[in-house]
Structure 1
């Protein structure tokens, strides 16, 4: 049913390589009049904006949205509401908006918060999502290893600050993926060293980007200055 309101599309754009966008996602990016994406740190060009650069045109409206990298819920909610209001200015005119989301829109993504805020304040807005490549799959591909096999159990832990949580997962998971763990890498290294798992752990920094790095021999690397965009895969 035609509502007269534009549709918000959450378009997954992968982890860095523009060619990892799905055909459907690319087509949507090229069709909509408005392209939204997270503003980079300190006003710089963000990762999602870099990824979609080959697929969009100067004629399309570019809409950088501010999402702070912090844990203060008050500031986060304020940013989500401001972003929703900004997007609404175009949607209520009947213009479709595509939000370019690095990785996959359903996997720890900023888009989820934007979509939830819009649903709460503007329930008439149609929202659709396009899936894509997320960082665990990209990292496994770069390493040339399967992420899981057969009946193996997979655990994914984001923003690991609690070592007992890792202890618990090590008790049942066959494969563990750590995201946003750079600030606690030394503690993780010490834990894996005690369990003799360092030879079965791998790190990929900035997957599918020009600055991509792979760390395979962690036994000799107890300290690393890792990017925020780092993924560790542990095969137990």
Structure 2
């Protein structure tokens, strides 16, 4: 069943056949008419960081919530695209869970983005207003360059009394560091996290500092980022990874081998660069 910007997989009778009610998701007692509370209480939104791509890197708490939540709302980049988040969490979901796909397009026009965020928040609000809980899985950590950030802000505007519980997740750069044995920060070493914009000014500025630079959201700009690393003489010690934890994971410690391959492997990619510092003082 499709609803505006959502595609849902629903079964109205599923909760008589095995999925726990929302009251079992946490230990908080909710108000009921019998207990003297309001006739209708809002459901809870659970934002769950699901890590970079390996389903087994989701926290125990995240898995427990995903397996028991009656509604799972997953983001995707376009109406025709598959949801990466859904692919990651699918093994942990109850087969009877209602799945709703919401489009968070990769566009830069703020008015269009705000309209999309508002529509997404309104849809989630419609679930919570029925007293039902919803889980929103998001790649990496919930509050690091995440679609969940925009959903929470929009929901707080329209439903400020909403109960929102956030479960952190493993960041992609932590996973890259683990695979490559790259020390992100030690001693008094500074760490700079920077997304890659088209003009590369922020990346260029970050590479002028000491410490570790985490370069994210590289995409088609990979070739230009490699040029900056060469310029700063940091390419020898930098590491690269794309789709970390996914079947098409690519890890590279010789970044010069990446030349000319930006269109192929630039998406969901990260570079860790050590710009040098005395870190053990």
Structure with greater helix share of residues: 1
Aligned equivalent of 1:113? 150
Pick closer, same or farther for the CA change 1:42–1:142 going to 2, 3 Å.
Answer: farther
1:189 matches 2:226: yes
Q: What secondary structure does 2:236 align onto?
A: helix
Aligned equivalent of 2:46? 9
1:101 matches 2:138: yes
CA contact (8 A) 2:216 2:269 kept: yes
Aligned partners of 1:136, 1:106: CA distance in 2, in Å? Answer: 14
Q: What secondary structure does 1:48 align onto?
A: helix
Partner of residue 266 from structure 2, selected from 221, 227, 230 = 227
Aligned equivalent of 2:16? none
Q: CA deviation at 1:220?
A: 4.5
CA contact (8 A) 2:74 2:85 kept: yes
1:64 matches 2:130: no
The size of the alignment, in residue pairs, is: 236
Equivalences for 1:126-165 in 2 at 5 Å?
A: 126-165=163-202
Q: What secondary structure does 1:100 align onto?
A: strand
Aligned partners of 1:29, 1:231: CA distance in 2, in Å? Answer: 27
The TM-score, its normalising length taken from structure 1, stands at 0.94
CA contact (8 A) 1:193 1:219 kept: no
Aligned partners of 1:197, 1:205: CA distance in 2, in Å? Answer: 19
Q: CA deviation at 1:80?
A: 0.5
Q: CA deviation at 1:182?
A: 2.4
Which protein has the larger Cα radius of gyration, Structure 1 or Structure 2? 2
Aligned equivalent of 2:116? 79
The structure showing larger relative contact order (alpha-carbon pairs under 8 Å, at least 6 residues apart) is 1
Moved more, 116-125 or 42-51: 42-51
Partner of residue 171 from structure 1, selected from 208, 227, 244 = 208
CA contact (8 A) 1:190 1:222 kept: no
Partner of residue 205 from structure 1, selected from 235, 242, 250 = 242
CA contact (8 A) 2:50 2:138 kept: yes
Q: What secondary structure does 2:193 align onto?
A: strand
Q: Which runs of 5+ in 2 are unaligned?
A: 1-29, 32-37, 276-281
CA contact (8 A) 1:160 1:178 kept: no
Q: Deviations over 1:36-92 (max 9, x none)?
A: 110254523211101111110221110111111111111111111111111111110
Q: What secondary structure does 1:81 align onto?
A: helix
Aligned partners of 1:155, 1:104: CA distance in 2, in Å? Answer: 17
Aligned partners of 2:167, 2:207: CA distance in 1, in Å? Answer: 33
Q: CA deviation at 1:134?
A: 0.9
Moved over 4 A (4+): none
